[in-house]
Structure 1
Amino acid sequence: MRLVFAGTPDAAVPSLRALHASAHEVHAVVTRQDAPLGRKKVLTPSPVARAADELGLPVLKANRLDEEATERIGALWPELGVIVAYGGLIREPLLSTPTHGWINLHFSVLPRWRGAAPVQRAIMAGDPVLGASVFQLVAGLDEGPVFATLERPALPAETAGDALTDLAGRGAALLADVVDAIAAGTARSTQQRGESNYAAKLGIDDARIDWTRSAQEVSQRVRGVTPEPGAFTTIDEERFKILAIGGAHDTVTLAPGAIESRDGAVLVGTGTVALELALVQPAGKRPMEAAAWWRGHAASETVVAR
């Protein structure tokens, strides 16, 4: 089939590579426009744009799939549109432009999490299972019938970044199988059933740690917002990033946010038991092990994170 692929972040790259390596033809890649990154705000192509250039595929950069983008895509006479984390909505008439419409690889076992941040929200909620779904795109948000899903257990220490990398690879193979089935006329889909939750895009408020929550909830929050937007708290009114957190110390109870060193481990209090800090980044400094920060902080008494 003649395909049009839409995607933007690293998580979409395995799917693009899988489709490029298949028997189908990717006639165009749609991705968001170059974005300013880093302290110097250098305009940088998206990961999908870089991969498409490497593969020699034509790229259409657009933050909105407007009338002009619709005309350019329609001129390719695509048989199927494929979208993976593009970062924008596909509306009519573009939704119906390809012969078989559009399919979406979404990183949730639908309908559990619909929206922009399903993996992050699943980890923050403590879901025991993570997964991905390939479904037919419809006007409603992630509401279309599902062709295929995969599931696997959520791992105790994995971050959202870890899980998304894994699911992006597994999902690419699932997506390629569905495209093959659509081409062969054997694809079958089923309507979604069950409770759904809205996985809103993460903001800075999601990244601030509330130490009055239980140790389990704090751990889930830190892992769910890692690497982006990145967990943080404040110490002495300065932002203090928490890049990695260790396990709970069930025999140690500290006041919420109180940080102390016990037997070489740097512990922080929560609403239940203490958690171990593993990797941190004080304001204006590089990431470092929590023990190294504690020694450099020269703390002889409890430090309080707020």
Structure 2
Amino acid sequence: MRLVFAGTPEPAVPSLRALAASGHDLVAVVTRTDAVLGRKRVLTPSPVAQAADELGIPVIKADRLDATATDAIAELRPDLGVIVAYGGLVREPLLSMPPHGWINLHFSLLPRWRGAAPVQHALIAGDRTTGASVFRLVAELDAGDVYGEVTYPVPEEATAGDVLADLADVGAGLLTEVVDAIAAGTARAVPQVGEPTYAGKLTLADGALDWTQPARRVVDRVRGTTPEPGAHTTIGGVRLKVLAASAVADAADLEPGRIGLVGRDVTVGTGEGAVVLHRVQPAGRPAMDAGDWWRGARLTDAVAGS
């Protein structure tokens, strides 16, 4: 089949490479326009754009799939559209333009966690199993019939970045299988079953740690917001980013938010149990071990969240 692929960030790259290596004709890649990145504000192509250039695939850069983008895609006469984390909606008439429509690789087990940040929300919620789904794109958000899915047990200490990288690789194989099945006429999609939950895009506020919550929930939020938007707390009004932490049952008589040294561990009391800080990043400084931060800060009466 003639395929058009739409995607933007790094997690979409494994799928692009897998489709490029398949027996199908990848006629174009659609991705968002170059973005200004880094302290030097360098205009940088998206990871998908860079991979497409490396593979010699024509690139259409568009922040929205508007009339101009639709016309450019129509000229290519694709049989199927494939989308992985493009960052924009596919609307009519583009949605119905390819004879086989559009399919989407989504990083959750639908209908759980429809929306922009499924992996992050799954970890924040404490899900111990998640996965990836390939479904037929329809007008309603992530509501189309599912062609296939793969489950993924979430590793105990994995962050959202870790899980997303794993699902990007696993999902690429699933996506290729579905495309092959559609081409062969053997693909079968089934309606989603269950009550949908939604995973909106995270903001900086979603990374704020609430120390009155149980330790397990605090650590789930750290994992779910790492690397972006980043878990954080404040100490004396100064922000401290928490990069890695673990839950322990013994709060060592620490009240919620109270920080102390328990043995050699920098420990914060919570509503139930305690959290050991492993790696942190003070404002304006590089990431460091929590013990080094604690010794350098010379805190005697510290309360997180103050």
TM range (shorter): over 0.9
The Cα of 1:113 is off from its aligned counterpart by 1.0
Residues 257, 270 of structure 1: 8 Å contact kept? yes
The Cα of 1:249 is off from its aligned counterpart by 4.1
CA distance in 1, matches of 2:246, 2:127: 19
Residues 211, 269 of structure 1: 8 Å contact kept? yes
Q: Say which SS state the counterpart of residue 243 (structure 1) adopts.
A: strand
Decide which moves more: 246-255 or 178-187: 246-255
Matched, 1:4 2:8: no
Give the aligned partner of residue 216 of structure 1: 216
Matched, 1:305 2:280: no
Instruction: String of CA shifts for 1:139-194, please: whole Å, max 9, x gaps.
Output: 00000000000002122211100100000000000000000000000000101110
Give the aligned partner of residue 26 of structure 1: 26
Give the aligned partner of residue 38 of structure 1: 38
User: What TM-score does the superposition give when structure 1 sets the normalisation length?
Assistant: 0.98
CA distance in 1, matches of 2:32, 2:199: 21
Q: CA RMSD in A?
A: 1.0
CA distance in 2, matches of 1:131, 1:21: 23
The Cα of 1:127 is off from its aligned counterpart by 1.2
Give the aligned partner of residue 236 of structure 1: 236
CA distance in 2, matches of 1:40, 1:237: 29
CA distance in 1, matches of 2:219, 2:253: 16
CA distance in 2, matches of 1:250, 1:90: 50
Alignment of 1:106-121 (within 5 A): 106-121=106-121
The Cα of 1:35 is off from its aligned counterpart by 1.1
CA distance in 2, matches of 1:275, 1:146: 39
Give the aligned partner of residue 125 of structure 2: 125
The Cα of 1:17 is off from its aligned counterpart by 0.2
Decide which moves more: 96-105 or 240-249: 240-249
CA distance in 2, matches of 1:7, 1:223: 25
Give the aligned partner of residue 281 of structure 2: 281
Give the aligned partner of residue 201 of structure 1: 201
Give the aligned partner of residue 165 of structure 2: 165
Residues 249, 276 of structure 1: 8 Å contact kept? no
Residues 114, 197 of structure 1: 8 Å contact kept? yes
Give the aligned partner of residue 51 of structure 1: 51
CA distance in 1, matches of 2:86, 2:38: 21
Decide which moves more: 71-80 or 148-157: 148-157
Q: What is the letter of the counterpart of residue 154 of structure 1?
A: V
CA distance in 2, matches of 1:45, 1:135: 28
CA distance in 2, matches of 1:44, 1:248: 42
- 4+ residue runs over 4 A deviation: none
The Cα of 1:78 is off from its aligned counterpart by 0.1
The Cα of 1:247 is off from its aligned counterpart by 3.2
Give the aligned partner of residue 85 of structure 1: 85
Unaligned runs of 5+ in 2: none
Instruction: String of CA shifts for 1:117-141, please: whole Å, max 9, x gaps.
Output: 0111011111121100000000000
Residues 253, 274 of structure 1: 8 Å contact kept? no
Matched, 1:138 2:138: yes
Residues 280, 290 of structure 1: 8 Å contact kept? yes
- Change in CA separation of 1:187 and 1:32 when aligned onto 2, cut-off 3 Å: same
Residues 253, 272 of structure 1: 8 Å contact kept? no
Q: Say which SS state the counterpart of residue 218 (structure 1) adopts.
A: helix
Q: Say which SS state the counterpart of residue 115 (structure 1) adopts.
A: coil
Residues 232, 242 of structure 1: 8 Å contact kept? yes
Count of aligned pairs = 305
Residues 251, 272 of structure 2: 8 Å contact kept? no
The Cα of 1:302 is off from its aligned counterpart by 2.8
